[in-house]
Amino acid sequence: MKDLIGKLVDVYGPSGHEGQVRALIEGLARDAADEIRTDAMGNLIALKRGTGGGKRIMIAAHMDEIALIVSYVDKKGFLRVGRVGGVFLPTLIGSQVRFANGVTGVVAREKWLTGGSTSQLPKWEEVYIDVGATSPEDAPVGVGDVGVFVQPFADLGTRIVGKAMDDRVGCAIALQALRTMGESPNDVYFCFTVQEEVGTRGALVSAFGVEPEVGVAIDVTDTGDTPESQPMSVSLGEGPAIKVMDSGFLTHPGVKDWMIGSAERLDIPYQLEVLLAGSTDARAIQTSRAGVPAGCISIPTRYVHTQSEMVDMGDVEGSVRLLVDLVTQPVTF
């Protein structure tokens, strides 16, 4: 699993530009799926057909990652930028980004070392990317080009760190479940979705096409286990978190109880998650067509939406076990 996650987080795949991630996942999923296709939005949908008598289940994990987009190139070749998804300014200065053509740049701010107060947070209008250019004509990227963060994958033993764990770790869990699940009465649609970070757009489209009877998103969530963190009943290493609520979604009670029952039957440690900000593809699935009972398996993650997101392998492996059980057993609500 570590090797799989390491490959997935390293691939370039900002919102709207998920092609490289999709190609990697498709190559790994093709032998395990009975049918695989890409829809008009760019979602990759891998179907594992059931033996009959079960439900049509949609599993969603998003392929895209947060990024910076070039909005203007000034006369000295510095790139002014906007954000694609939830990028936090305090984490940016001094970091590196990589564009689709391989160009790397440094994120900086005006008055970085010449009179700017280190106690003041940067503003978006102060931030730029330096790619070593001296003029707009010299710049190897331009308006509309998108850069993702550069950060090496790190294996810390039971814990791993990398950029884009949100949500490549969810993609890895879904992919591993697809490749290891046995027979099931259910038709299971593993949907690797696009553009989640800019409004769960891909999941809305794929859910409309799949018409699931049950939906489960696999995504990351914050933790409350670091020094002076906001209190939250989710910690690294305590098992997958079964979502109860976030700012855009309330889990269907039947789905929540179904997940809890599965975890308890298999003796998988689990946590209950109430997230006060943010949402996932589960919201889009739930509101598709006439509505879908939906829930979410959340992976406890420290430093979400930074260049160094940390997860625990025990939580990852527990999530795989839980997901495999959910999709291979009769739906019990």
What are the residue numbers of the active site? 196
CA distance 189 to 221: 23
Query: What's 131's DSSP letter?
Result: -
Please, what's the b/e burial string for 187-208 (b: 16 or more CB within 10 A of its CB; e: otherwise)?
A: bbbbbbbbbbbbebbbbbbbbe
Q: CB-based contacts of 249: which residues, under 8 Å, 6+ apart?
A: 243, 279, 280, 282, 283, 286, 294, 296
Query: What's 122's DSSP letter?
Result: P
Partners of 302 in the beta sheet?
310
CA distance 319 to 194: 21
Mapped onto helix, strand or coil, the DSSP state of residue 135 is: coil
Query: What's 162's DSSP letter?
Result: E
CA distance 128 to 254: 48
Which region holds residue 320: left if phi is over 0, alpha if psi is between -120 and 50, else beta? Answer: alpha
CA distance 276 to 293: 21
Contact 224, 233 (CB under 8 A): yes
Long-range contacts of 32-35 (CB under 8 A, 24+ apart): 32/178, 32/179, 33/178, 33/190
CA distance 39 to 43: 6
Residue 43: both structure tokens together: 């979602």
Instruction: Output the 3-class SS for 211-252.
Output: CCCEEEEEEEECCCCCCCCCCCCCCCCCCCEEEEEECCEECC
